[in-house]
Each structure stands twice: as C-alpha cells, then as structure tokens.
Structure 1
Amino acid sequence: MTAKKLRETQAAWDEVAAGFDEYATPLTISFAEMALDGVDLGPGVRFLDVAAGSGALSIPATRLGAEVVATDVSPAMVELLAARARNEDLTDLEARVMDGHALEFEDDTFDVSASQNGVSLFPDMQRGLREMVRVTKAGGQVLILAFGPPTEAEFLAFFTGAMQAAVPGFDGLPMDPPPLPFQVADPEKLRAQLADAGLNDIQIDTETWEMEFQSATHLWDVVVNSNPIAVALVADLSREQITEVQDILDAKLRERAGESGPAVLTTRMNIGIGTK
C-alpha cells in the first residue's frame, strides 16, 4: 500500500471508529465468541488479530487466556481497542497500529493468526493472507471470518430496501464486482484464497449470525458506522430522506419482531480455518 493510500485508508476508518466501536463491535463480539471455538486457545497461546477494529475478536480471545496482539491500520480504532482492554483489565492484550499488508513481525511468531471481516476487506486480500501465514508458526492455525452472500445478510437487505423506497435513483450496492466485504462470499473462493496463501487442512464452515436490533435507529447506526462504504452511501441524503428511511426500517423491524422484543436479522458467515 502506498503512503498516500495508507493515509487515506487510515482517515476513512478513523472517521467511523467511534460509531463502529459503539454500534458494530458489541454485535460482532457474540459471533466471534462462537467462531473461536474452532481454534486452539488458552494460556500461553500467542494470538494475532489483523485488521482488528476495536476488538470484537481480540477481546474474547484474551478472555480465553491467549496472549493477544491486535493490529489495525486506524489509530483511532487501536485507541478504542486498548480502552476496551483496560476497562476489562485484560493485561495480555497489546494493540498496535499496523498495515496488514506488511506486518511488522518476524516469521513464525504466533500460534494462531485471525481476522474477522478484516483481511477479507483488503483490496489485495491474498497479500494480507500471505502475511498472516508468514508470521504464524509451523503447525499453527489461521482463522478467517468473512461475510457470505449479500443476499443472505438481512441487515443489509433491510437497509438497502428502505433506501430504495425512500431515495429516488438509489439502486443498491453495485454487485459486479461485489463490494470488498463480500469478495469471498462463495465458500469455495475463500477456500482457494487460503490454499493459495499456503495453508493446508482447510475447513470452511458456514454459520448463521443472529443480530438483534432494538430499533430502526439502532439498525441505521450499525450500518452507517460499519464501513466507509456506508458513509458514502448516505452522505448526500437530506434530513427528510433519512427520516423516511428510518420510518420504513421501523415498520420492517416491527413486523419481524412481532408483539415485542428486538428484531432478529440473520447473516450468513463463512468461517475458514487452515493449518500452516
């Protein structure tokens, strides 16, 4: 990544960091806790989290006793991640600003290297994966959590449907090629990426992530703070259009929730694990 591109990427993620930490990370932690069952963690295990955001994967890994190093290109994300660790007195979690395309670690440093909706967003995902493999010890594991098809991400379908109904000319996300978060939506594409990066004994599982939304505002806040792509989607909306989108979302969520309680929207996720 060029110095200019690195600065642009840092700025884009810094802009959404506070909202990401407040809205996206709490939802994502629960899925991470489930996915971590697939790797060997415990006291003494050195665990690397690449493109860690504000800690949705790092925090539960540290709770399980691993010695965690979390990296992210965004200084704001790293500050928020470190704050989460301090709030829980998690002393075995180190947070560092770092470009995942060029990890500043020696070869064969970690027992497990992982990324949740992180490396799978890289324009050069293969380079990021190869870096993760490089710093993983022989016999160690690499874990990748990535979105399945956008058509099976209900939070996105609800949001884009409301946008299409409220905003003239909004056609939804371009899908040819798909947005980077969905570049390995096909499990076989994820398998091929992991194999090309040098991993063996690859296992790809698909799991359903159940996301609870308390209100239309909650869903709006999660989506628009989840990625710079979402920021661009809503940047030119008027206050009236935002209100209309949220009104439509409110009706959709009420219908899903039934009589009471939060609305549960499901998202298909791919979990890939390989051994170096």
Structure 2
Amino acid sequence: MTTPTKPPTTDQIRTAWDTLAPGFDRHTTPHTMQFGEQILAEAAVGPGTRFLDVAAGSGALALPAARRGARVVAVDIAPAMVERLASRARAEGLEQVRALVMDGEHLDLDDDAFDVSASLNGVSLFPDLGRGLAEMARVTRPGGTVLVAAFGPPQKAEFIAWTLGALRAAVPGFAGLPTDPPPLPFRLADPERFAAVLREAGLGEVTVRQAVMDTPFGSATELLDTIRSSHPLGAQWIAGLTEAQSTEVRQILEGMLRERSGGAPGAVLHTTINVATGTP
C-alpha cells in the first residue's frame, strides 16, 4: 500500500516540463517523432486535415502532421516546450503550424473545430485524464477522430525497464516504479481499461491496438540522457545518483546494449505503445 500524495498544482506541472524542455527536445522528440509519423499515416492525416496536438511537447505529432499537409494547432502547458515546437516549425518552413500555450484540461478552442485531435504520451499524464479526453472529444467534429497513444506495460518499455534494472543493481534500496497506483505514464497500459476510459469520455467506435516503437540508442549515455529528460520521475532517478553509482549504471547499460547488438556499442530498444482511436 502506498501513502497518498497531494497532486501537483498546474504551476508545478508547468515548471517541471519547462525545466525538462531543452533535454526533451534534444533527446526525446527525435525518438518519438518517427513513431508519430507512423501512427499519423495510419490515421489518414493529410492535406487539409484540421489537426490538433494536445500536450504536444516539442512536436512529435504536430510536425509530422504539418509535413503531411495538415493545418495544425499544437498546445502544451509549458511555454518552453511551445517555443521549441514553434522554432522547429519555423526551421522547416511549416507555416501552417500554430503553437499555443494552453492547458489541455481546459482547451480555449471552439467545439467541433478539428477533424483529428491527437496526443502521444501527453493527455495520459493529465491529473484529470477524463477531463482531458472529454475536451479532445468536444473540439473534434462529429465523425472525426480522437487519437491517443500511451505506454503499454513498463516491462515492455525496454528503455525504462533496462534502466530500472541497472538502478536496482547499482543503488541499494532503489524502490523502482510504484505499482498501486502506477505512475501516470502507465495508467493506460491495460488496453481494456484504456478503451473503457475513452468510452466514459463520450467516444464511440473505440479501438485499441498495440504497436511497437523502435528506438536506437548509440550509447548508455544517450539512453540515460533520454531517461533524464523524458519525464520528471526519470530526472529524479538520475539526479539522485552518486558519481560511483552513475558510473556503475552506465557500465551495466553499456554491457546490455552490446549484448543486444552483438558487440556494437549501441542497440535498438523496443517499447509497446497502446494506440487508441474513438469517434465523437
């Protein structure tokens, strides 16, 4: 049994993600953008699609959608994330991207304004998940698509599972991930619960399928940089290490990567992602 903790305030959430933004943009977005391209192709996002990216980070869904010709609005609660998304869009000449600072639980957007509203490991982190999903449904036109992708089980996110294993080996008493309840990134790991939550938000024709995100890591350092920048919890894990523990964790991970790749310094790790769609 775990001790209840007070949920973070909106300002605390904003500050945490603002702090992570430089590393998130450098390490996490390039990895997840390839997966974003994959699921957008399957959702038939194309020229003229009115597309909303909720909790957009620095653009793993928004930018691939714009490249496909969609008219994109991307929102995130963290101003630093929004600025990095806008900078990426400007660098690519994607003038059809509007990047806005906005709380996804309270979208300042019109009803029925989008053909597709999507979120990749974003709305699943909201303190009020049901509210976030209901807002996505509200701003999506009848017959449109709400697309939500979220992590499957932690053990099937190898970049996390491998790091947790290395931390347990190097840090006496390391607690790892809580299980009751699980951390927010894994609250939709069960496909049946995921589908039920979407239906509770007012969506119909709900489907949930599992996909695999393949992520190449060139070194243990790159892997740890990704863990550090991808979520405040990962940042806490790495920040709490002594120099000796950090060295040991890195050595363990280097060995695991080399074993996976047959002796090369880097390897591809696999992550199961639940990809759900529903219709308002």
Aligning the two structures, in what range does the TM-score lie when normalised by the shorter sequence?
A: over 0.9
Q: Which of 124, 142, 154 is the matching residue for 1:150?
A: 154
Alignment of 1:63-212 (within 5 A): 63-212=67-216
SS at match of 1:208: strand
SS of the aligned residue for 2:268 comes to strand
Q: CA deviation at 1:124?
A: 1.1
Tell me the equivalent position of 1:11.
15
Matched-pair identity in %:
54
**Segments of 4+ in structure 1 off by > 6 A?**
none
**Residues 37-72 of structure 1: per-residue CA shift (max 9 Å, x gap):** 232322221100000000001110100000000000
Residue in structure 2 matching 1:53, options 51, 57, 63:
57
Instruction: Give the SS at the match of 1:168.
Output: coil
Distance 2:46 2:258 in 1: 42
CA distance in 2, matches of 1:157, 1:236: 18
Cα separation, 1, equivalents of 2:45 and 2:160? 32
Equivalent residue runs for 1:37-48 within 5 Å = 37-48=41-52
* Partner SS state of residue 146, structure 1: strand
Alignment partners' CA distance in 1, 2:45 and 2:34: 17
Query: 1:260: how far off?
Result: 2.8
Contact 2:254 2:265 in 1 (8 A): no
| Counterpart contact for 2:102–2:108, Cα < 8 Å | yes
Cα separation, 2, equivalents of 1:97 and 1:210: 30
Once residues 229 and 101 of structure 1 are traced to their aligned partners in structure 2, the CA distance between those partners, rounded to angstroms, is: 22
Report deviation, 1:242.
Answer: 1.1
Asked if 1:256 is matched to 2:260, the reply is yes
Structure 2 Cα separation of the partners of residues 274 and 17 of structure 1 = 30
Distance in 1 between residues matched to 2:255 and 2:169, nearest whole Å? 13
Q: In 1, distance between residues paired with 2:252 and 2:263?
A: 18
Question: In terms of mean alpha carbon deviation, does 262-271 or 109-118 score higher?
Answer: 262-271
Return 5+ residue gaps in structure 1 as ranges: none
| 1:239 aligned onto 2:222 | no
C-alpha separation in 2, matches of 1:260 and 1:194: 43
8 Å contact 2:117–2:146 — kept in the other structure? yes
Deviation at 1:116, TM superposition (A): 0.2
Provide the secondary structure at the position in 2 that maps to 1:268: strand
> Post-superposition shift, 1:138?
1.0
Letter in 1 for 2:272: R
Deviates more, 1:81-90 or 1:229-238: 229-238
Aligned residue type for 1:8: Q
Per-residue deviation, residues 171-190 of structure 1 (Å, max 9, x unmatched): 21111111100000001111
Instruction: Give, in whole Å, the separation in 1 of the partners of 2:265 and 2:235.
Output: 28
Kept in 1: contact 2:219–2:265 (CA 8 A)? no
CA distance in 2, matches of 1:218, 1:37: 28
Q: Deviations over 1:136-170 (max 9, x none)?
A: 11111000010000011111111001101111110
TM norm structure 2: 0.95
State the secondary structure of the residue aligned to 1:244. helix
- Find the residue that maps to 2:246 and give its secondary structure: helix
Match of 1:265 among 238, 244, 269: 269
Return the offset for 1:261.
Answer: 6.3
* CA–CA distance in structure 1, aligned partners of residues 168 and 46 of structure 2: 47
> Which of 28-37 and 230-239 deviates more?
230-239
Deviations 1:60-109 (A, max 9, x none): 01000000000000000000000110111101111000000000001111
